[in-house]
Structure 1
Amino acid sequence: MRTTQHALDLDLVAGKQPLVSRTAGVVGVLTAIWRLFRNRYQIARLHDLDDRQLLDMGLRREDVHEALTSSFFDNPGSYLTRASRNRANLFFRGVRHD
């Protein structure tokens, strides 16, 4: 292809997005925000558990508090997953951090 043909192809791609594509983008963003709210609500319910129940999941009350006070756009569930896995790894190595 010649250079002029490449330029024409780029102009066609850079055009305005169709309404369906823009709507899908907006719905995707709203879905992600709803999921963040829902996850934070469910993690806040972990405060209702006692320390022994949290430790059964590999968590401490401080982990739940830190997850909830993280930035809004950070996923608190991934933080709790990492904390639980790290605690499990330490437990299986014989190191106790209760």
Structure 2
Amino acid sequence: MRTTQHALDLDLAAGKPSLASRSATVIGVLTGVWRLYQDRRQIARLHDLDDRQLLDMGLKREDLHEATTSSFFDSPGCFLTRASRNRANLFYRGVRHD
């Protein structure tokens, strides 16, 4: 038997996913959406800080604005982490980026 014939046999044997696997998928999606919502709420609290406090974390107001206006399914926490690390790298290279 060829490899393609084996692959076709496996596809036919798979069948429909079980109720447990479907419910686990739904729970996983809902958990991910809840995490994104919580991240956005925490970032909204960062708006209460002044510019000096944000710069201590390596962030600027523009970073917060870009993170909150990004697509809902993009992780704003990852965006802010990247922005902070990039600003720190520039600082340690001696590039002033105020």
Question: What TM-score, normalized by structure 2, do the two folds share?
Answer: 0.90
Q: Which residue does 2:17 correspond to in 1? A: 17
Task: Supply the RMSD in Å over aligned alpha carbons.
Answer: 1.4
Q: Which residue does 1:44 correspond to in 2? A: 44
Amino acid of the structure 2 residue aligned with 1:95: V
State the distance in 2 between where 1:8 and 1:59 align. 54
Map Cα deviations across residues 17-76 of structure 1 (whole Å, 9 max, x no partner).
110000000000000000000000001110000101000000001101110001111111
What 5-or-longer segments of structure 1 have no aligned partner? none
Distance change in 2, residues 1:95/1:20 (3 Å): same
Amino acid of the structure 2 residue aligned with 1:11: L
- How far apart are 1:97 and its partner, in Å? 1.1
Question: What TM-score, normalized by structure 1, do the two folds share?
Answer: 0.90
**SS of the counterpart of 1:74?**
coil
**SS of the counterpart of 1:24?**
helix
Q: Which residue does 1:59 correspond to in 2? A: 59
Same amino acid, percent of matched pairs = 71
What 5-or-longer segments of structure 2 have no aligned partner? none
State the distance in 2 between where 1:9 and 1:62 align. 51
